[in-house]
Amino acid sequence: MSSEIIAAVSAVVGEAPRPVALHEPLFVGNENAYVKSCIDEGWVSSVGEFVNRFEKDLAAFCNAPHAVVVVNGTCAIHAALMVLGIQPGDEVIIPALTFVATANAVVHAGAVPHFVDVEETSLGMDPQTLITHLEKIATRQGNQTVNKLTGRPIRAMMPVHIFGHPCRLEELAAIAREWNLMLVEDATEALGSTQEGRPVGSRYTAVFSFNGNKMVTTGGGGAVTTHDEDLYQRLKHLTTTAKQPHKWAFLHDQVGYNYRMPNLNAALGVAQLEQAPRFLAAKRALAAAYMRAFEGMKGVRILPTPPDTESNYWLVSMVADQPDEGWLDTTLKALHDVGLQCRPIWQPLHMLPMYQEHPRSDLTRTESLAKRLISLPSSVKLGLSLIGG
């Protein structure tokens, strides 16, 4: 099967020099000019016009009223959970199949990640599994949901849009309402993805990342978008050392965080976001090319786009139906040997040493998918050459 896969991937990436990276950043717009202007004018740190501009541009891009930009996506999740009022000892429901930062940020907020299984289509948290699981292990006490097995409140859920594919957010939101859980979207991989025509991050409080391997990068960076004016004010305050505005005095009214994105990074962000529509078109053309190349292949397919959504195809991925034992490693080795730097999905979080004892639902699908998924070279550049850019 490996040779067929190699032929298909090679046909899509064409003449790209080997090795072909999994996902590379691309700086072909105003990045140089904007970063240079920060240096020339001396505004490199946490004050400067690009921070405000990036927040405004990002909010507009996501069709959300407010955005706060911070140093990275992990800190963005941490800050969002804090202002939502997550308390030490609370449980937060997250999928078991996500990047480790989703769980780590929950722990940074003093809370306990509670792992739930994912579905095969979107790779997002499975609504039906979640309902069954809550009915089994949770009970309502007043307007609070409590885990009967641990005695801890289950306070929130954080679905993740894996590889840019929007998860079944509205169904999950209905469950959140029914069980009185707060909802934050981990949209770190899904900038520009849409669901029923609406951008991810436009409906609920959502978190983004601008790490070097994401579609739009600020070097390192993150953001929270929200509709909630009060939440927005508190987020801004908490992430800027909780300093009250004053011409010279240092008045801090709580233990704040130095999470503000530096102006240098925001300058990069503004320039990158200007190109986001073109980047998205390139990513979608690349995904379409992979789908054509894999059409009719037995036992493997490109992860399809969930119904009623448009993915940003952050990482175009293939999934094997019923691979033999060892398929994952054999295939990855064969791809790497010809300079195609593909990657497996993350180790399921409940299998990592620090999360083995954590509360969880049945995780059969997570464990199965982890052995069957491979992400393919997905850089914007590869797609641009397909749309003639």
Ligand X SMILES: *Cc1c(COP(=O)(O)O)cnc(C)c1O
Q: Does the footprint of ligand X cover residue 164 (CB under 6 A)?
A: no
The rounded distance, in Å, linking the Cα atoms of 383 and 287 is 8
Q: CA geometry: angle at 124 spanning 118 and 129, to 5°?
A: 40
Length, in residues, of the chain: 389
CB of 186 to ligand X, least distance (A): 5
CB of 102 to ligand X, least distance (A): 5
Closest CA to 258 of 242, 276, 278: 242
Instruction: Give me 99's structure tokens.
Output: 């990047």
Instruction: Give me 290's structure tokens.
Output: 């992979």
Greatest alpha-carbon pair distance for the chain in Å reads 68
The rounded distance, in Å, linking the Cα atoms of 172 and 131 is 9
- Which region among 97-105, 111-119, 238-246, 329-337 touches ligand X (by CB under 6 A)? 97-105
Instruction: Give me 354's structure tokens.
Output: 């620090």
Angle between helix 73-84 and helix 229-238 axes, rounded to 10 deg: 120
Q: Does the footprint of ligand X cover residue 348 (CB under 6 A)?
A: no
Q: Which of residues 185-204 bind ligand X (CB under 6 A)?
A: 186, 188-189
Binding residues for ligand X, total number by CB under 6 A: 14
CB of 193 to ligand X, least distance (A): 13
Cβ density class 280-317: b for 16+ within 10 Å, e for less:
bbbbbbbbbbbbebbeeeeebebbebbeebbbbbbbbb
Sorted by sequence, the CB contacts under 8 Å of residue 373 that are 6+ apart come out as 123, 303, 317, 318, 319, 320, 344, 345
CB of 63 to ligand X, least distance (A): 21
Distances (CA, A) of 86 to 99, 109, 114, 252, 289: 21, 7, 14, 22, 43
CB of 23 to ligand X, least distance (A): 11
CB 366 within 8 A of CB 360: no
- Of 161 and 327, the one with the shorter C-beta distance to ligand X is 161
- Which region among 94-102, 280-288, 300-308, 370-378 touches ligand X (by CB under 6 A)? 94-102
Q: Which of 209, 240, 265, 305 binds ligand X (CB under 6 A)?
A: 209
- Of 66 and 165, the one with the shorter C-beta distance to ligand X is 165
CB of 250 to ligand X, least distance (A): 29
Q: Does the footprint of ligand X cover residue 211 (CB under 6 A)?
A: yes
CB of 342 to ligand X, least distance (A): 17
Q: Does the footprint of ligand X cover residue 102 (CB under 6 A)?
A: yes
Q: Strand, helix or coil at 29? A: coil
Q: Which of residues 18-77 bind ligand X (CB under 6 A)?
A: 72-74
The rounded distance, in Å, linking the Cα atoms of 268 and 248 is 30
The CA R_g of the chain, rounded to the nearest whole Å, is 21
Q: Which of 134, 160, 191, 280 binds ligand X (CB under 6 A)?
A: 160
CB of 159 to ligand X, least distance (A): 11
CB of 95 to ligand X, least distance (A): 9
- Of 327 and 355, the one with the shorter C-beta distance to ligand X is 355
Q: Which of 34, 50, 99, 313 binds ligand X (CB under 6 A)?
A: 99
Q: Which of 20, 68, 101, 370 binds ligand X (CB under 6 A)?
A: 101
The rounded distance, in Å, linking the Cα atoms of 267 and 341 is 30
- Of 267 and 289, the one with the shorter C-beta distance to ligand X is 267
- Of 189 and 327, the one with the shorter C-beta distance to ligand X is 189
From residue 113 to residue 152, what is the string marking binding to ligand X with x (rule CB under 6 A)?
----------------------------------------
Q: Does the footprint of ligand X cover residue 98 (CB under 6 A)?
A: yes
- Which region among 19-27, 59-67, 182-190, 320-328 touches ligand X (by CB under 6 A)? 182-190
Residues forming contacts to ligand X in the complex (CB under 6 A) are: 72-74, 98-99, 101-102, 160, 186, 188-189, 209, 211, 222
